[in-house]
């Protein structure tokens, strides 16, 4: 169909990552004739270079930690080391299975899939493989790539990006991680589990700085206990090769040396040289600008995912892609509430949240109108069984709804689903408190925190 010049698709999508393929699947489901163009592999960063492979590494690291520490549970094992070839085999098998399933989904929905590097050639067309693909609407979903800093050259050997880190054929003896956000702390956690000596460099005053400050402090405490070093509040100045690795110098003159330097300062949009600006699409620092319905300033063009300045999360891309497909199909759509999106950092321990931080809530509602409470996981039976520490913190508008849920501890990412419902349905603490949570579960801790906030704590001092 793509080779037939007379074909005009309802929707032409440039980019087959989370946002792009979600729009394609939903659009086809709603009867739209869809063309999906991807230069690499269907599934994009999340499936091949992001969410899925990093979580596989983190799980392998968790298994390594459990092997070393099993005797505390009365189980004697011996830990002989990490076989990175075996870890990559496991990781790649996970990816391959999901990739095959996604390919099958796209084929089953009768989506025209075109493999090749596309370029926006007009407000209603994309050029790919020497052909012009015409559409009534075009969706830009070209994603992001790892960022670096001026003068900091990523060589793929000693100075690496997250892409390189995912295929590293060895466990580095020592590593410096530049950036204490989600990507940085996840790799720091995995490498420490594998046996590396790790130091995280973060220019802001806390690790995971976009999270509630209490969560950041709990993670920092846990990292200290694990032996993960970090330097906060001073920015990077330069990096240089040494005989055995790399040396990093900070703005205050402090120096750190390690075998490798992972540059994990975030991801930047892929938009250069793709015909966006030439066709009138407004951008800012490479990001394509959109309204709340993901519409650009060009009526026939929308954009989603990491390409636009919203939360860089795969599930946000899914939601934005679905929104575009449903809008084009004539359904009533509701803009994404980005505060209501669950956020999880999968280090050990996990950091999970939804809604506003306490600082943000005070900014929005006034300091005197906000209350918070913390429920320590030490008071939760299942968490004690798992030997994990941490807290669940709730932020509430006084006499009103819970506007923030912030959790630190192993497996807290699995509890964020209920937290999402609590925030998005504007639940009152008393309403959650009357729900019965299964015992013993970690989920029960979320219920106990709401019991406490409702003024009737059970396994917690008044």
Strand ranges of the sheet holding 159-160, from the earlier edge strand across to the other edge: 159-160, 260-263, 174-178, 197-202, 229-232
Residue 336: φ, ψ to 5°: -70, 130
- Residue 2 · residue 25 · CB < 8 Å: no
What 8-state DSSP symbol labels residue 8?
Answer: E
- CA-based R_g, the chain, Å: 24
Q: How confident is the model at residue 151 (pLDDT cuts 50, 70, 90)?
A: confident
Q: What is the average pLDDT value for the chain, to the nearest integer? A: 96
Q: Decide if pLDDT at 275 tops 90.
A: yes
pLDDT digit string, tens, across residues 62-114? 999 999 999 999 999 999 999 999 999 999 999 999 999 999 999 999 999 99
- Residue 306 · residue 45 · CB < 8 Å: yes
pLDDT of amino acid 139: 98
Determine the Cα angle at 359 with ends 354 and 365, to 5°.
Answer: 90
pLDDT digit string, tens, across residues 8-51? 999 999 999 999 999 999 999 999 999 999 999 999 999 999 99
Q: Six-digit token pair at 118?
A: 């596309």
Question: Whole-angstrom Cα distance, residue 249 to residue 247?
Answer: 7
Kindly provide the residue ranges of all beta strands, DSSP E only, lying in 129-265, ordered along the sequence.
131-135, 138-140, 144-146, 159-160, 174-178, 197-202, 229-232, 236-241, 246-250, 255-258, 260-263
pLDDT of amino acid 59: 97
Residues noted as catalytic: 439
- DSSP secondary structure string, 383-404? HHHHT---EEEEEEETTS-EEE
CA max distance for the chain? 73
Would you say the C-alpha torsion 344, 221, 216, 152 has a positive or negative sign?
A: negative
Q: How confident is the model at residue 285 (pLDDT cuts 50, 70, 90)?
A: very high
pLDDT of amino acid 2: 44
SS3 content of the chain, % helix, strand, coil (to 5): 35, 25, 40
- Residue 19 · residue 320 · CB < 8 Å: yes
pLDDT of amino acid 457: 82
Q: Decide if pLDDT at 381 tops 80.
A: yes
Taking the CA of residue 384 as centre, how many other CA atoms within 13 Å lie in the half-sphere pointing to its CB?
9
Q: Is the pTM of this model over 0.85?
A: yes
110 or 457: which leads in pLDDT: 110
Q: Six-digit token pair at 431?
A: 């309403």
Question: Whole-angstrom Cα distance, residue 27 to residue 35?
Answer: 10
- Cβ within 8 Å of residue 80, ≥6 positions away: none
Q: How confident is the model at residue 5 (pLDDT cuts 50, 70, 90)?
A: low
């Amino acid at each position: 169909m793509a080779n037939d010049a007379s074909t005009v698709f309802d929707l032409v999508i440039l980019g087959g990552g989370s946002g792009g393929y979600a729009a394609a699947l939903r659009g086809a489901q709603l009867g739209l004739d869809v063309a999906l163009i991807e230069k690499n592999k269907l599934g994009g960063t999340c499936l091949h270079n992001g969410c899925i492979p990093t979580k596989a590494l983190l799980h392998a690291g968790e298994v390594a930690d459990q092997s070393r520490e099993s005797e505390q549970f009365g189980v004697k094992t011996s830990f002989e080391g990490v076989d990175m070839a075996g870890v990559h085999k496991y990781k790649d098998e996970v990816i391959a299975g999901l990739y095959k399933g996604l390919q099958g989904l796209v084929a089953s929905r009768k989506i025209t899939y075109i493999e090749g590097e596309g370029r926006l050639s007009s407000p209603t067309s994309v050029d790919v493989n020497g052909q012009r693909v015409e559409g009534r609407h075009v969706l830009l979903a070209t994603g992001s790539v790892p960022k670096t800093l001026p003068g900091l050259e990523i060589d793929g050997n000693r100075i690496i990006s997250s892409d390189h880190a995912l295929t590293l054929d060895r466990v580095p003896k020592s590593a410096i991680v530049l950036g204490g956000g989600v990507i940085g702390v996840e790799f720091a956690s995995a490498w420490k589990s594998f046996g590396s000596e790790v130091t995280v460099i973060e220019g802001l005053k806390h690790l995971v700085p976009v999270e509630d400050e209490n969560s950041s402090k709990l993670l920092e405490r846990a990292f200290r206990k694990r032996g993960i070093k970090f330097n906060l509040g001073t920015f990077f100045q330069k990096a240089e090769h040494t005989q055995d690795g790399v040396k990093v110098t900070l703005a205050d003159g402090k120096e750190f040396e390690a075998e490798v330097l992972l540059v994990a300062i975030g991801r930047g949009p892929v938009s250069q040289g793709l015909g966006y600006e030439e066709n009138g699409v407004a951008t800012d620092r490479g990001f394509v600008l959109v309204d709340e319905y993901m519409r650009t300033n060009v009526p026939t063009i929308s954009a989603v995912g990491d390409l636009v300045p919203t939360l860089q999360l795969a599930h946000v891309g899914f939601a934005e892609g679905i929104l575009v497909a449903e809008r084009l199909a004539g359904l009533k759509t509701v803009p994404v509430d980005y505060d209501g999106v669950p956020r999880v950092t999968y280090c050990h321990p996990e950091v999970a949240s939804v809604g506003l931080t306490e600082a943000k809530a005070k900014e929005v509602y006034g300091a005197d109108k906000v209350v918070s409470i913390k429920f320590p996981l030490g008071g939760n039976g299942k968490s004690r069984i798992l030997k994990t520490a941490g807290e669940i913190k709730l932020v509430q508008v006084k006499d009103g709804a819970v506007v923030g849920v912030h959790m630190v501890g192993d497996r807290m990412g699995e509890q964020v689903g209920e937290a999402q419902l609590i925030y998005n349905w504007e639940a009152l603490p008393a309403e959650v408190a009357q729900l019965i949570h299964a015992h013993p579960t970690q989920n029960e801790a979320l219920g106990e925190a709401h019991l406490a906030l409702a003024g009737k704590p059970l396994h917690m001092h008044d």
